[in-house]
Structure 1
């Protein structure tokens, strides 16, 4: 069962709640009449996909990204999880962000979590997912608040991710005890951070884990638009995120796309993706390319899942399975 939290303007709250109610009724009716988008989806899952697609579309409709963020944040849904995570902000002289600890207890291993949101949104949804990661994986987690686009285009994000990694290292945390996890644009940032560490001859983390990563900031594959009917993220949104990321810095798109980069001599990479997401083809091609080069990469896919399906935690069978795979992988490669 999802929990609902309201934020910000009353008009935005009402609009979001009415849309959620409308979508819920529409999905229930479509299930009864056998006209669902995907007959294999549960009612709750389909409601979530359609609602968050609407919220993204509405956010993109505003001329001001600040207003778009405010609308997106006006109604937040989260899943019930049976754990207590204590969140603590960093000190003023440290990189901006939050620590998340299960029962407030530190652990030897640490997670550096790079959130998604197209580099443009830092929603309470991402904060909730950070807590979920810390709770389900039972590992202390640091989530840096990297600078967002369009206000701060590239290279602000990689600079901040690198600063966050160095922050952990300066606290005496060994590289082999650091797990870097990112979703969506955060998955892109994980990959770019691994490359930056290699270029600077800095120690690699134990592993980079990418959930629905953005592996090509350009258009790639039939799924980019072909899966619009299934996914909460749409192809046109990825193109806008690309435009905001590049800003006026005029980098070559290939230089910001992991699929064109050399991933030799970096940490092992583990990737999860849903076959129904718009980024699926580029993720699949990225993994295939690296495997052909004998790079240590593993890709797990779920045929009916969409972008960032892991946000459902243990409340959905596929998401629960995805977390189980991450847990088993960490147990295999990390020291206790």
Structure 2
């Protein structure tokens, strides 16, 4: 039996070299990792010169806070409206629920293009202000943008403020607002809780309270610069090195004593880092890289992850406290709001405004 012929090489022909693999293209940085724009740096510098000294030295007594509350609310009257949304006032005494149940009052921010009828979902937004100032009106730059970007209505309750109504009064009002949405047929799977600063603490506390009491879980929670630890231990240490252009941890500690009232810090619902996060819905945290509350936000993300939960944290390079409220002024704030809308659409499975729903 003849052996098969051996392969031969043609004379004078050199085999082609094997091409070296091309180096992988560098990964595109996330938007929150980019260097701050000049516009955001200028605004931060102006605030540090003009606002930080005032906030750092704010007295921790009721009279000064009531004056600040009046001033902030009056300034909010000058904010331009957003033509993409309608704002409706809400006041529901909830008489059918009994005299011990708090009323639900606030604003219902609705996209102008939203169809009539029961909405498929909603955002329950809890405004910031240290639990002592601000209102639904002051935070319309955020709530209007949320409604326009997601196509969902936004409920912004007037929760009770300290020092007249210390914690847990704000949490009781937040629970009442969530129940109000459920009673009106908005499915829990279509509701996203959200809040900034003290409202971020309140939104997180509401999430933990829903899990603890067995209410239907919302679809997700969004926290902008959350004030996680009202004892301010982490933020006071961070203040030694951080150049936060807006928030003073020293002033926050003074205000916190008014928020907790005579009961002190013993209420376990205040302690977000010790809350049982097992079974919580997905969470998105956005925090400025320059703010003193950053370590608190990072600690909360770790606590949720250690409990087996899903938490996406975005540390926005060089940004200040609740920079999202500047979404008409800085590109970073506008991009952060688009990132938030992406998260809301993902957890609620709702299409972007103008897109058809997938059957």
Q: TM-score range by the shorter chain?
A: 0.7 to 0.9
Unaligned 5+ segments in structure 2 are 1-36, 95-103, 351-359
Count of residues in correspondence between the two structures = 299
Partner in structure 1 of residue 55 of structure 2: 56
Question: Is the CA contact (8 Å cut-off) linking 2:73 and 2:134 kept in structure 1?
Answer: no
Matched residues in 2 for 1:98 and 1:82: separation? 14
Partner in structure 1 of residue 324 of structure 2: 310
Partner in structure 2 of residue 117 of structure 1: 129
Matched residues in 2 for 1:321 and 1:295: separation? 25
Matched residues in 2 for 1:91 and 1:131: separation? 20
Q: Please give the residue correspondences for 1:1-336 in structure 2 after superposition, counting only pairs within 5 Å.
A: 41-54=40-53, 56-57=55-56, 60=59, 64=63, 65-76=65-76, 83-93=83-93, 95-103=104-112, 105=114, 107-123=119-135, 124-221=137-234, 224-226=238-240, 229-252=243-266, 255-336=269-350
Task: Report the more deviating stretch, 250-259 or 157-166.
Answer: 250-259
Q: Give, in angstroms, the shift of residue 50 of structure 1.
A: 4.1
The one-character-per-residue Cα deviations of 1:263-316 (angstroms, maximum 9, x if unpaired) are 001111111101111111111122123323322111011120111011111531
Matched residues in 2 for 1:172 and 1:236: separation? 43
Question: Is the CA contact (8 Å cut-off) linking 2:225 and 2:287 kept in structure 1?
Answer: yes
> RMSD over aligned Cα, in angstroms?
2.7
Unaligned 5+ segments in structure 1 are 1-37
TM-score (norm 1): 0.80
The one-character-per-residue Cα deviations of 1:61-107 (angstroms, maximum 9, x if unpaired) are 87612112223445459887864221111134351111011217354
CA pair 92-260 structure 1, distance change in 2 beyond 3 A: closer
Higher relative helix content: 1
Task: Report the more deviating stretch, 278-287 or 111-120.
Answer: 278-287
CA pair 73-229 structure 1, distance change in 2 beyond 3 A: farther
- Secondary structure at 1:90's aligned position in 2? strand
Matched residues in 2 for 1:289 and 1:257: separation? 12
Matched residues in 1 for 2:88 and 2:113: separation? 9
The one-character-per-residue Cα deviations of 1:107-140 (angstroms, maximum 9, x if unpaired) are 4220100111011112442234322322233321
TM-score (norm 2): 0.75
Matched residues in 2 for 1:227 and 1:132: separation? 33
CA pair 58-92 structure 1, distance change in 2 beyond 3 A: farther
- Secondary structure at 1:180's aligned position in 2? strand
Question: Is the CA contact (8 Å cut-off) linking 1:50 and 1:232 kept in structure 2?
Answer: no
More contact order relative to length (CA 8 Å, sep ≥ 6): 2
Matched residues in 2 for 1:78 and 1:136: separation? 23
